[in-house]
Amino acid sequence: MSSTKRFPTICPSCGGVLAVKSLHCAECDTTISGQFEVHPILRLTTEEQQFVMAFIRCSGSLKQMAADMGLSYPTVRNILDDIISKLQSYESTL
Amino acid sequence: MKALFNPFRYIAGAKALIFGLVFIVALALLLYSGGFIQDSYIHIGMAKASLWYVGAMQIVWWLLPALLLYLCGVLLSKSKIRIIDILGTTAFAQLILLLMIAPMLLPAVMNNSMELIATLQSGVTPQTASLMPIIIYSIWSLICLVVFYIWNYNAFAVSCNVSGWKAVVAFIAVQVVVTIVGTII
């Protein structure tokens, strides 16, 4: 089982969008505090983020992605279109 | 299980179209060999027609709903849809019709049907035991029909990236239109 925790983007208490308040360097123990916005891509699910990574790795070739993922071309295009509309809705709420 | 009800998650486009055309040709040959013809959408009738005519009817009853679904996709979808996907997936769905019709040509089912028609025409009530092959075939064809509609809906949903009530309404509308056209022709 992976020990990596999923980056939380939604407040479990009120459902609002979380912002980053502090960042920590594990190497030198430095902590930076402030108000940092979470990029819309980070608000995608792990699977969706992996899809975006695969999309970049394939230079945006959906045909190549479909072949690599063992899915049909329209299925891959539909996943991409769903991610695009999700990102658009996130960006509109910024 | 997912692939059983929605194979179009995994196959579409030219590959599905090639398989689909093979299924359509096989279906036409099967119907022709049994003296049948697809005379409307989801209806098989008996007719002494040439192989070319039987094949042409197969093409018509595949192409007509496919093109109407494509038209709905163009109107409803926000995605850039490809006609080859809807043609390929709907052609691939003809596999279910092939599976539905193939057992109809089995001697047991064929003879049983003929006997049933003759018995009903003579005014005699048929015995339940003697109806077993046709009862089993009827259940099989009903299952195939349900799966055929599911596959066609998924072909539309995947190829055109449409979902929800809009997709359901558009799909039902196309089925109704095609069925009405089938009864008129």
User: Which pLDDT value is given to residue A63?
Assistant: 94
Give me the number of domains chain A comprises. 1
Write b or e for each residue in B98-129: b if 16 or more Cβ atoms lie within 10 A of its Cβ, otherwise e.
Answer: bbbbebbeeeebbebeeeeeeeeeeeeeeeee
Indicate the residue of A70, A71, A74 with minimum beta-carbon distance to B159: A74
pLDDT over 70 at B96, yes or no:
yes
What is d(CA B89, CA A36) in angstroms, rounded to the nearest whole number? Answer: 47
Tell me, yes or no, whether A6 lies in a domain: no
Interval B127-167: pLDDT, tens: 766 778 888 888 999 999 999 999 999 999 999 999 999 99
Q: Is the pTM of this model over 0.80?
A: yes
Convert the pLDDT of each residue in A30-61 to its tens digit. 999 999 888 889 889 989 999 999 999 999 99
Report the C-alpha gap between B8 and B75 in whole angstroms.
21
Model confidence band, residue A2 (pLDDT cutoffs 50, 70, 90): low
Give the pLDDT of residue B80: 92
Q: Where are the alpha helices (DSSP H) in B35-127?
A: 51-76, 83-92, 94-101, 107-121
Say whether residue B141 is in contact with chain A using an 8 A CB cutoff: no
pLDDT at position B116 is 78
Residue A13 lies in a domain: no
- Is A83 within a domain? yes
**Whole-number pLDDT of residue B59:** 95
* Chain B contact for A89 (CB, 8 A cutoff): no
Pairing mode of beta strands B36-40, B43-46: antiparallel
User: Is the predicted ipTM greater than 0.90, yes or no?
Assistant: no
- pLDDT higher at B5 or B120: B5
pLDDT score recorded for residue B153 = 97
**Domain residue limits at A66:** 40-92
> Residue A59 falls within a domain, yes or no?
yes
CA distance B24 to B1: 25
The whole-chain average pLDDT of chain B stands at 90
Per-residue pLDDT band for A3 (boundaries 50, 70, 90) equals low
Domain assignment present for residue A81? The answer is: yes
For tokens 């992976």, name the residue.
A2
Q: What integer pLDDT is reported at residue B173 of this predicted model?
A: 96
Residue A14 in any domain: the answer is: no
Tokens of B5: 């009800």
> What is the count of residue pairs from A and B with beta carbons less than 8 Å apart?
40
